[in-house]
Chain A
């Protein structure tokens, strides 16, 4: 393997990141649904021929760790130039069913030199409820159509039978067709751009760059880990019920730092549950990667090397490595946040100044719908305070970062009215630095409808750090009466649903505490 000089490395790292970014631009530009186009619930990446990620353009952290499994899954299936594979099965490389991943071999001169990958959250993939985000699924079959790795395109031609089968199982087939077409266009641009790079720089140089950017990222991650003291620290947290029970469900993690490598072990975590907050392993990986990235210098590239120094142990059959056919749709959107919180809590023992206090730790998933319309929203809350400053208020803090729906757009679109959408001043935890404030959002329905809430942190507030106070817990209310964290209800005309989101934890003892 030829070693690249520091200049070529830098230029090609930039060019490869540019390829992933352009894939993202093509996908967002070409997609039909607002979930991808506006909320940017999608990610794109370029992999090498060995199935290692070379460059990624990410918009959503929860997509981070799950792509390599998807690529590995299709490498077993004789992928040939001109093929495009689709996959969403959480038990063979997916995360939850709405996230459909397309993988294409990238060929040069007839030889497969890498893979282009796009992952997008499709707003409906069938299943028991519109929007494919049911709060009450008990096995994966209820959550939508399951797509194992199958060819959607073979030798440049659509495989019509597969496309027809897929579209027959979703509620909005035209949008799905359009979004899938945009994903294919994004995969195609990768092959075109990598081809151009090879024409300009030479095949050997570009392939060497794949190796080099990966080992470069690994080197930088190892340096960051080496800066941490060696040792072993554990942390424990919990989910507040799974929709079938309100019991706390523990998540336990032990992080070991040994020189320049890190091990994250989830032994001790609860068994998988009957509700749908289970996580397939890729989701657990994503959440662990997220926690690691919070510690790393922000200019490190994201690729296979970034995560190479990390090993993850998650016993099969537990909440963090659920087995088929457990329901998993909320693992991706709720449990993932708690896994990240727990790993960060353990990491804080190694580097207390680099890890903020806990943020709201939930996406407050709210689904209201009736015949003919479905509204899905996630609501921001308080971020934890940090060594360097107070926690931001009213933001997404963990594995999501999607935009809100403007009230004026909301009221023109749905038979509902927003009565209140404000910060809850003082809901962030006290401390030398205050936690960020949560949000209160009250919605009145103007006709009968059904409600699903998938929320957490309603009993245990986000913890403070270094002596800071916890943030205030969230609350769910129907006409002023408190509801459980995970719940489905029928609503009458005039009912008011209020979601109060948690405040972030404080950081450090407040001056008041120190003086007393």
Chain B
């Protein structure tokens, strides 16, 4: 394959690769290497047998930053802040995480009390109130030196509008401690509301040293192998170069899930489906996300491991339920599923690796959705008799037969998934019935038709590349950088020249950062007095208000045409688009039915055809009840559903009229 683009995605268990070029698609899957994720990346490249010198690009999604946050294994980090405000990071928004569990605290702040230092200075809404005291700055610099930290976050009040003091503090720290990483809040996130800005900046400082070490190591290996310099997936759904990724460490925490959403948007659009809810069900967790008009949506409301990071990130909602979720009987005699998971070790009872409690996977196996004896990753073999044993044991506690337990586990798990899908649709003002459900991940296709029925959705899409959709998303991601300029003003006081000047400044910065970028201008607005903003397109200031009213109507169900509207931020998204090849699905090779087996639908055992997705092709038809086995996953086509494989290889299922 010549002139191919590579996408390599590191997941918890496997590292996936997709090579895309000339209408063709090559995939590879190798075990992940958690200690140094870059080893798995190089193994995947080797396994794919692509010619290194012929590659156009190597895009990479990883979980290094996410894991460092989750496990609190980032750099030893200090905070320098305004006198009188030492504890903003710890007080947070002063709400407790659980209403009734009074012992539960928020996750500890990334910077402990003894590493939080204050300088004498103060700015307010109109600029400097108290000058920066050089003597107190000197004291802080030596205190930071003595603390022996690897990174420092400088977060001063009102620095989003008046960054002069922060810059001076940053300069002094960089001069005195050249080996220490320094992040300034006015650079990382020049937006008002101090807690969220401080939190984002501290995360940036906390992650930067680790991320730098990892990415520089990866870059070295890539160069050695003659590969292009890697592009790194950011949380926003666009890729960027190594240096920029390091400079924007906090923007990499959703590097992993972003690829999946971008891949889903791409595959959906190719088949003509632009409004989607994505449903990525894996072993321990499930990600759902809305895609509107072919575009992954972004939000700045993301909180990861208790740390708000207010940078644009793909809008993904994660629930901790998946194939490995354990079913149990609670003290009130109800059947419950999760939140505990059997994970990969010991795994579901069917693995025979010590797991004795039934999981969602065990229920799917018992019901015939998965085949008895299926091999997973060439290592584990699923054994139905073990699932049955575990389901029977649970059934004794509930007074139910194994079959009813299995059906119940699937129904209870589906009820949880339905709630997750409602959250990302209904709560955002979207009606799920206007969307198609795009299912991927190991277990997505098994539950999709049932979920669609619950939500009144009539179309389910199961892409051929469902097992490697994240890697596919990486391969076709545009290069992207985000810029923001705070501009707090009532709309009727916005100066058109100033408006233009600020965008022009950002665009000229972007032109230095990127080669021939395309720009999208956007703006955050709110009704006066509101404490949240909505982002709308902002090519000219003239149309902003109308767009804002319309966006408010869409999102919140009403608008207030008489209320004063305020401008809060100007945003620039600069992209260098990459060419997105079409996928081509070959014609069916004939004889797709690989066998028949008994499967249970709503309590009835039916002998259904089992189709091998590798032997079906463009135009192949399927009518439920049936099972379609993909290379890495299984799709259950419920009674009443039918469809066919489209020109890009997506199995499109439609619900018939009842």
A residues whose Cβ falls under 8 Å from a Cβ of B: 5-7, 9-11, 13-15, 18, 21-22, 25-26, 29-30, 32, 34, 37-38, 58, 61, 178, 181, 185, 216-217, 219-220, 223, 290, 293-294, 296-299, 356, 359, 379-380, 383-384, 386-390, 392-397, 401-404, 406-409, 411-413, 417-423, 425, 439, 442
Could you say which residues of chain A place their CB within 8 Å of the CB of B496? none
1/0 per position for B16-53, CB-CB distance to A under 8 A? 00000000000000000000000000000000000000
Known: A216-B333, A220-B331, A397-B102. Is A29-B91 also a contact (CB below 8 A)?
A: no
Q: Is the CB of B333 within 8 A of A18?
A: no
Q: Which residues of B397-445 are within 8 A (CB) of A?
A: 398-400, 404-405, 407-408, 411-412, 415-416, 418-419, 422-423, 426-427, 429
User: Is B94 at the interface (CB under 8 A from chain A)?
Assistant: yes
Known: A409-B531, A422-B84, A423-B90. Is A29-B556 also a contact (CB below 8 A)?
A: yes
User: Is B336 at the interface (CB under 8 A from chain A)?
Assistant: yes
User: Is B530 at the interface (CB under 8 A from chain A)?
Assistant: yes
- Looking at B92, B334, B558, the one whose CB has the most chain A CB atoms below 10 A away is B334
Could you say which residues of chain A place their CB within 8 Å of the CB of B104? 392
Given A10-B336, A18-B419, A396-B94, 6 new contacts (CB under 8 A): A6-B329, A18-B418, A29-B429, A223-B331, A359-B102, A412-B488
Closest B residue to A398 by beta carbon equals B102
Closest B residue to A402 by beta carbon equals B95
Q: Which residues of B87-112 are within 8 A (CB) of A?
A: 87-88, 90-96, 98-106
B332's partner among A220, A359, A379, A387 (CB-CB below 8 A) is A220
4 shortest A-B CB distances, which residue pairs? A7-B408, A380-B94, A386-B103, A392-B105
Q: Is the CB of B95 within 8 A of A396?
A: yes
Q: Is the CB of A423 within 8 A of B87?
A: yes
Closest A residue to B100 by beta carbon equals A293
Give Cα A35 to B91, complex, Å. 20
Q: Closest approach, in angstroms, between the C-beta of B447 and any C-beta of chain A? A: 14
- Looking at A13, A388, A392, the one whose CB has the most chain B CB atoms below 10 A away is A392
B125's partner among A18, A32, A403, A412 (CB-CB below 8 A) is A412
> 15 pairs across A/B with beta carbons < 8 Å?
A7-B400, A7-B412, A11-B412, A185-B557, A219-B333, A383-B96, A392-B96, A396-B95, A397-B96, A404-B94, A406-B194, A406-B195, A408-B194, A411-B158, A417-B124
Known: A6-B400, A404-B94, A421-B85. Is A34-B531 also a contact (CB below 8 A)?
A: yes
Give Cα A299 to B329, complex, Å. 13
Give Cα A372 to B481, complex, Å. 43
User: Is B68 at the interface (CB under 8 A from chain A)?
Assistant: no
Could you say which residues of chain B place their CB within 8 Å of the CB of A383? 96, 102, 105
Q: Is the CB of B124 within 8 A of A411?
A: yes
Give Cα A407 to B193, complex, Å. 7
Give Cα A413 to B125, complex, Å. 10
Q: Is the CB of A14 within 8 A of B100?
A: no
Could you say which residues of chain A place their CB within 8 Å of the CB of B84? 418-422, 442
Could you say which residues of chain A place their CB within 8 Å of the CB of B415? 10-11, 14-15, 18
Known: A7-B411, A14-B416, A217-B332. Is A395-B96 also a contact (CB below 8 A)?
A: yes
Q: Is the CB of B93 within 8 A of A404?
A: yes
Q: Is the CB of B334 within 8 A of A6?
A: yes
Q: Is the CB of B158 within 8 A of A408?
A: yes
Closest B residue to A423 by beta carbon equals B87
Could you say which residues of chain A place their CB within 8 Å of the CB of B331? 220, 223, 297
Q: Is the CB of A294 within 8 A of B557?
A: no
Q: Is the CB of A34 within 8 A of B407?
A: no
Q: Is the CB of B95 within 8 A of A393?
A: no
Q: Is the CB of A178 within 8 A of B558?
A: yes
User: Is B513 at the interface (CB under 8 A from chain A)?
Assistant: no
Q: Closest approach, in angstroms, between the C-beta of A362 and any C-beta of chain B? A: 13
B408's partner among A6, A13, A379 (CB-CB below 8 A) is A6
User: Is B192 at the interface (CB under 8 A from chain A)?
Assistant: yes
Q: Is the CB of A422 within 8 A of B85?
A: yes
Give Cα A299 to B328, complex, Å. 13
Give Cα A425 to B321, complex, Å. 40
Q: Is the CB of A393 within 8 A of B408?
A: no
Q: Is the CB of B558 within 8 A of A389?
A: no
Q: Is the CB of A32 within 8 A of B329?
A: no
Q: Is the CB of A294 within 8 A of B195?
A: no
Q: Closest approach, in angstroms, between the C-beta of B629 and any C-beta of chain A? A: 27
User: Is B168 at the interface (CB under 8 A from chain A)?
Assistant: no
Give Cα A485 to B102, complex, Å. 25
Q: Is the CB of A299 within 8 A of B102?
A: no
Give Cα A388 to B101, complex, Å. 11
Give Cα A26 to B558, complex, Å. 12
User: Is B501 at the interface (CB under 8 A from chain A)?
Assistant: no
User: Is B344 at the interface (CB under 8 A from chain A)?
Assistant: no
Closest B residue to A420 by beta carbon equals B84
Could you say which residues of chain B place their CB within 8 Å of the CB of A61? 99-100
Give Cα A293 to B101, complex, Å. 9
User: Is B86 at the interface (CB under 8 A from chain A)?
Assistant: yes
